[in-house]
Copies of this chain bind each other. A is one copy, B any other.
Amino acid sequence: MIIDCHGHYTTAPGPHSAWRARQLAAFREGRPAPGYPAISDDEIRESIEQNQLRLLRERGADITIFSPRASAMAHHEGDERVSTEWARACNDLIGRVTGLFPETFIGVCQLPQSPGAPLDASVAELERCVTELGFVGCNLNPDPSGGWWTSPPLTDRYWYPIFEKMTELDVPAMVHVSASSNPVFHATGAHYINADTTAFMQLIQGDLFADFPDLRLVIPHGGGAVPYHWGRYRGLADMLGKPPLSEHVMKNVFFDTCVYHQPGIDLLCQVIDPGNILFGSEMVGAVRGIDPETGHHFDDTKRYIDAAALPDADRANIYSGNARRVYPRLDKALRERGL
A147-191 Cβ-contact flags toward B at 8 Å (1 or 0): 111011100000000000000000000000000001111101110
Q: A236 near B202 (CB under 8 angstroms)?
A: no
A102 at interface by CB-CB < 8 Å: no
Q: A225 near B197 (CB under 8 angstroms)?
A: yes
Q: B263 near A271 (CB under 8 angstroms)?
A: yes
- Give A135 Cβ to nearest chain B Cβ, in Å: 27
State the CA gap A152–B224 with chains docked (Å). Answer: 23
State the CA gap A278–B197 with chains docked (Å). Answer: 24
A34-56 Cβ-contact flags toward B at 8 Å (1 or 0): 00000000000000000000000
Q: A238 near B271 (CB under 8 angstroms)?
A: no
Residue of B189, B224, B263 near A267 (CB, 8 A) is: B263
Contacts A198-B184, A202-B184, A205-B186 known; A229 to B221 CB distance under 8 Å?
yes
CB closest residue in chain B, given A196: B225
Listed residue (A189, A236, A238, A239) with the most chain B CB atoms within 10 angstroms of its CB:
A189
A residues sitting closer than 8 Å to B (CB atoms) are 142-143, 147-149, 151-153, 182-186, 188-190, 193-194, 197-198, 201-202, 204-205, 221-222, 224-225, 227-236, 238-239, 259-261, 263-264, 266-267, 270-271, 286-289, 291, 293, 298-299
4 more A-B residue pairs beyond the given contacts A189-B233, A193-B197, A236-B287, with a C-beta to C-beta distance below 8 A? A152-B183, A185-B198, A227-B228, A234-B293
